Structure 1
């Protein structure tokens, strides 16, 4: 028995030759193809296209193959916040009398007559709210014509609790101005009874609207992430707004209800504690531009700050080696070549590669992150956590892209943490969550159309047979395998009517296994033959999927088995195994995130997504600011 790829006994070569012979009738070929390849791949998964063999371009074919068609990835959008609408209180004023309320559960109280009289004070009230909140106000008060927040001639205890919670919004990373309500002065009023009643009913409507805004923001976030970019993919988290008002009308536990709208997980709480600590702390004495990028010979006013920090923290060994150099060049804004070994030594001491290039990771290791930057990162992280389920689940897999790590967490314990490679800035990994379903051993790689068009097609136009030589299989739209050399690749642009699949082998882009959680982004976790990537500090290097340094460990974790079992499975060629437990996976993006001991760590904004989220938040605040 021989095997393909020099890794494991996969398929007898004779059998492969017989079953994939190009002369096999169409129906039979398709059936055998499905049998051999496990029914195919349900999605067009992304992977990583290894560099093709070196070749000489034919002089009679243009370098671009005669076409420039490309398939683009998702884009970022200019965020459009919900416009506020004027609440049409005329509909409420025309609502039926409480003798026959629309809501059968409504029970008139002693204040219901006063409420009915007060409604007239809304006739010329110019109050603006989000469309869904405006609709909920009219629907609720039409069916329940009574005060929630007013008793007698002033705000009640329920209202006082609500206003206090809204005033504490900043402790959750929210903007208090979004929930401001003008509270009627308590005690004796100089206004006439009618004027006082008008003041109270307007306060009633304003507080209900802002409470609903707060509940929505706490549960779902202030922005809709899916409207920011195609890289974000989150299901809606609808809030029953009429139901919320009913609950608030029948409870004295207003604070408990509103606080329960926030995510109820330890990570959210740890970020809140960090935010409070940051707001009470002093700013760093020396603040260095976190985006500094400086190479030998270049100049920057930020360099003396870094050199000062290095000089402060010299130990005996490095002080003896570099003390004189730092004393002489410590105020220089020019990155003198003499400083190169100093920077390299500092980088290596911090666990970095030590290439001498001063970048964000070097700055962070020396100067830390500024207080202002940390606060922004924590506020962004709190907003992003509101997009996820309140209970993150256990067990779960958590991939944090800016940290370049993937973890398996069970019962509050991080059972596995492995280095990860994520998508390049031009092939970004999406931010979403899903559920792990399957592990594939010695997988076939279905090359996505974007890689076929953008990376393979230019080569194929001048060298149509190279896929045959490089271990790839080409099939037409009916599933029939055909030689790559038989296709006129020059006839196609962005729409290729062929599928390309790479056979299992040591050179396979997915390595020895992949872990699937089918999603529209066609992203999954997998092994890779490019092990050296894991030694780099900045690991945004793939086409979008998540490569793992310890894929066997992760496969064993999600399957609830041992690494030895995984090793045994790999000895028997291509196969798949379903994950029988519910294991959510978060392909997340957090530049501030607590470790398992609740210590918040900070990471570089690899894709500049924090900036884009801050722009969306600013657009939302600007849209809300003219509200009354």
Structure 2
């Protein structure tokens, strides 16, 4: 943070121009090091032991390494028993007294809220006249529809007492007149007694005990359902060190009283679902895919090495067209209806088919060049209906980690899409390509607020790059940072690179590159100070933006059009930004408006038209979320 405040950048390494002797040349060994150039020197000049060791033999000391964040084995919320000793039922003389015998486990915060409610409640919430009431039936039915909201209905199923009408009113009545009350909507849930028991009246006390067990269990599940609707099933910060999102607070103590007062308890609980346009678009797409019942469709088979350019021929072209017919949007298929209707499975990649493919590529966020190569093939074979459904469920979970209202003006970076989107007046104004961290240098998932645009920036080299990438060269040639124009400081004091003992700790050593045409950050950077030292910036390595897969940086976000983004957040023209850059001076320009930035990770996300697009899971984070889902459901006893 101090480095960011002082104007020292600490992220993202770019490749400078090919005409200069650069740091990357030295790191990659493309040019001889200074030490290599002078190996043949003679004379009486004194050589230190460290220099002699670097010249005569390889470094015998193991090089240190700085490791990045890790993915964790997900730890679920701890469960504990609900304590019934302080319930109002303790002084009751009727059937409510059996609530004290109920045994229910729940996450600690939910258990606490249940205890708070029943310390005051003298009457049941879910049971009336010795039977499960209509409120309970409606909520149980709502639980079975939890999948519509990206949740798992199994997480909320509970045992429903296998009661008979006779057993409640007249234990001696004929069993044939009895009718089980377990609702059809939860028929998959285990019963507390075998189905045959429905024809035999249980003792009245046992039935009331079963009802009170149901009472307490349903209250705990109702709280869990509402909480999951608001903030999701899992804590993102337990997935990996790359996740940094404050988990939302839910006022659990207000929910059961709200259920009791609501004319429609199921609608009340449904009302906790996010209402953002993004969540609703994902929810609608999930319902559409499930309604079409295509989750079991056979995967498409296309050669991984398929490369088909306009005018060429391929027997696989018919499969390509078939994929587009199945997976393209309705809008795309309408625009190219004539082409699709006229196509006769011919192998020639004709111009009208090229336009069809370009439209499909654009929908997928790929380079719309009409060339069917590895990226297009991966998109066609990887995004089956089943995989799309999984992506949607993960995305609906992750939406809950963000504010329900992203804001009227904000910047949204979606890493799997390799895109950044600028919103103002509630609408997307523009988007552009970005380069994000490589798999070994992943960009984090967090939110912050933009504070500064710095023109002609310094690049502060992070310790991870100093240690992992520079140190091997520095031990062989302590002087090359000086020759390349990098500035070195030890404990805040400027020193020559040759004055540093590169065999000792580098924690007090800082290295930065002054503003220049070769600077790794290019013309500007856009800061939103955070503990991960991540920001948006320019880069001299423009060729990376032509690639479809752009997970290539050391973690920061490189912008294809940095002046455009800087002008937008500053509220000025691009010409004004260019003028400040042309002055050639390092300057920090404050962003006075409150503009949140979401450095996000969604493999399913709606575009500005509300159409959901799907992307590859470049970091494997969806898989990590799925594992956390499984662990959570297991802990809940689903």
Asked if TM exceeds 0.5, the reply is yes
In structure 2, what is the equivalent of residue 69 of structure 1?
Answer: 64
In structure 2, what is the equivalent of residue 483 of structure 1?
Answer: 496
Q: Which moved more, 1:52-61 or 1:576-585?
A: 52-61
Q: Conserved in 1, the CA contact under 8 Å of 2:413 and 2:600?
A: yes
Structure 2 residue 58 is the aligned partner of structure 1 residue 47 = no
Structure 2 residue 319 is the aligned partner of structure 1 residue 309 = yes
Match of 2:512 among 482, 501, 505: 501
Which whole-Å CA distance do the structure 1 matches of 2:83 and 2:4 have between them?
A: 60
Which whole-Å CA distance do the structure 2 matches of 1:425 and 1:39 have between them?
A: 28
Q: Which moved more, 1:373-382 or 1:154-163?
A: 154-163
- 1:296-319, CA deviations, whole angstroms, 9 ceiling, x for partnerless residues? 9xxxxxxx9955514769989xx9
Q: Secondary structure at the match of 2:222?
A: helix
Q: Conserved in 2, the CA contact under 8 Å of 1:311 and 1:323?
A: no
In structure 2, what is the equivalent of residue 87 of structure 1?
Answer: 82
- 1:65-90, CA deviations, whole angstroms, 9 ceiling, x for partnerless residues? 84321100000011122243333323
Structure 1 residue 577: Cα displacement: 1.6
In structure 2, what is the equivalent of residue 209 of structure 1?
Answer: 220
Structure 1 residue 502: Cα displacement: 1.1
Structure 1 residue 262: Cα displacement: 2.0
Structure 1 residue 128: Cα displacement: 2.2
In structure 2, what is the equivalent of residue 377 of structure 1?
Answer: 391
Go from structure 1 to structure 2 and tell me whether the alpha carbon gap of 1:87 and 1:592 turns closer, same or farther (over 3 Å shift).
Answer: same
In structure 1, what is the equivalent of residue 336 of structure 2?
Answer: none
Go from structure 1 to structure 2 and tell me whether the alpha carbon gap of 1:261 and 1:170 turns closer, same or farther (over 3 Å shift).
Answer: same
In structure 2, what is the equivalent of residue 266 of structure 1?
Answer: 277
- 1:351-407, CA deviations, whole angstroms, 9 ceiling, x for partnerless residues? 64989995354232x457211011000001001111111111110100000000001
Q: Conserved in 2, the CA contact under 8 Å of 1:47 and 1:543?
A: yes
Match of 2:347 among 301, 310, 323: 323
The number of equivalent residue pairs is 542
What runs of 5+ residues in structure 2 fail to find an aligned partner? Answer: 16-23, 40-52, 169-202, 308-313, 325-338
Q: Secondary structure at the match of 1:425?
A: coil
Match of 2:478 among 454, 457, 464: 464
In structure 2, what is the equivalent of residue 254 of structure 1?
Answer: 265
Structure 2 residue 466 is the aligned partner of structure 1 residue 452 = yes
In structure 1, what is the equivalent of residue 588 of structure 2?
Answer: 576
In structure 1, what is the equivalent of residue 112 of structure 2?
Answer: 135
Go from structure 1 to structure 2 and tell me whether the alpha carbon gap of 1:178 and 1:282 turns closer, same or farther (over 3 Å shift).
Answer: closer
Match of 1:521 among 532, 549, 554: 532
In structure 2, what is the equivalent of residue 158 of structure 1?
Answer: 135
Q: Secondary structure at the match of 2:94?
A: helix
Go from structure 1 to structure 2 and tell me whether the alpha carbon gap of 1:189 and 1:86 turns closer, same or farther (over 3 Å shift).
Answer: farther
- 1:582-627, CA deviations, whole angstroms, 9 ceiling, x for partnerless residues? 211110000000011110000000001111111111111111126x
Go from structure 1 to structure 2 and tell me whether the alpha carbon gap of 1:349 and 1:130 turns closer, same or farther (over 3 Å shift).
Answer: closer
Q: Conserved in 2, the CA contact under 8 Å of 1:443 and 1:512?
A: yes
- 1:473-515, CA deviations, whole angstroms, 9 ceiling, x for partnerless residues? 11111x21111122121333xx432111110111111111111
Q: Secondary structure at the match of 1:398?
A: strand
Which whole-Å CA distance do the structure 2 matches of 1:294 and 1:158 have between them?
A: 58
Structure 2 residue 614 is the aligned partner of structure 1 residue 602 = yes
Q: Secondary structure at the match of 2:253?
A: helix
Structure 2 residue 126 is the aligned partner of structure 1 residue 149 = yes
Q: Secondary structure at the match of 1:406?
A: strand
How big is the alpha-carbon RMSD for the aligned residues of Structure 1 and Structure 2?
Answer: 3.4
Q: Secondary structure at the match of 1:270?
A: helix
Which whole-Å CA distance do the structure 1 matches of 2:58 and 2:288 have between them?
A: 58
Which whole-Å CA distance do the structure 1 matches of 2:579 and 2:439 have between them?
A: 37
Q: Conserved in 2, the CA contact under 8 Å of 1:423 and 1:545?
A: yes
Match of 1:549 among 552, 560, 565: 560
Q: Conserved in 2, the CA contact under 8 Å of 1:270 and 1:598?
A: yes
Q: Conserved in 1, the CA contact under 8 Å of 2:301 and 2:381?
A: no
In structure 2, what is the equivalent of residue 363 of structure 1?
Answer: 378
In structure 2, what is the equivalent of residue 566 of structure 1?
Answer: 577
Q: Conserved in 2, the CA contact under 8 Å of 1:89 and 1:138?
A: yes
Go from structure 1 to structure 2 and tell me whether the alpha carbon gap of 1:195 and 1:295 turns closer, same or farther (over 3 Å shift).
Answer: same
Q: Secondary structure at the match of 1:458?
A: helix
Aligned 1:2-401 pairs, distance under 5 A: 40-41=6-7, 45-48=10-13, 50=15, 51-53=24-26, 54-56=31-33, 58=36, 61=54, 66-92=61-87, 97=91, 117-184=94-161, 188-191=165-168, 194-283=205-294, 287-288=299-300, 293-294=304-305, 308-310=318-320, 323=347, 350=361, 352=367, 359-364=374-379, 366-367=380-381, 369-401=383-415
Structure 1 residue 149: Cα displacement: 2.6
- 1:324-370, CA deviations, whole angstroms, 9 ceiling, x for partnerless residues? 899xxxxxxxxxxxxxxx99x98999564989995354232x45721
- 1:252-283, CA deviations, whole angstroms, 9 ceiling, x for partnerless residues? 24344322322220000000000000001143
Go from structure 1 to structure 2 and tell me whether the alpha carbon gap of 1:355 and 1:414 turns closer, same or farther (over 3 Å shift).
Answer: closer
Q: Conserved in 1, the CA contact under 8 Å of 2:542 and 2:560?
A: yes
Structure 1 residue 123: Cα displacement: 4.5
